[in-house]
Amino acid sequence: MNTDNTFTIRPAQASDVAHIYGMIVELAVFEKLEHLVVATEEQLHDALFGARPSCEALVGVDDGEVACFALFFHNFSTFLTRKGLYLEDLYVKQVHRGKGYGKQMLAALAQLALERQCGRFEWSVLDWNDNAINFYKSMGAQILPDWRICRIDGAALGKLAGS
Residues labelled as active-site residues: 136
Determine which helix (DSSP H) or strand (DSSP E) holds 7, and give its type and residue range.
strand 7-11
The conformation of residue 132, written as its DSSP 8-state character, comes to H
* Identity at 141, one-letter amino acid code: A
Phi, psi values for residue 89, rounded to 5°: -150, 140
Integer Cα distance of 52 and 74 in angstroms: 14
Residues in the chain: 163
Integer Cα distance of 9 and 67 in angstroms: 10
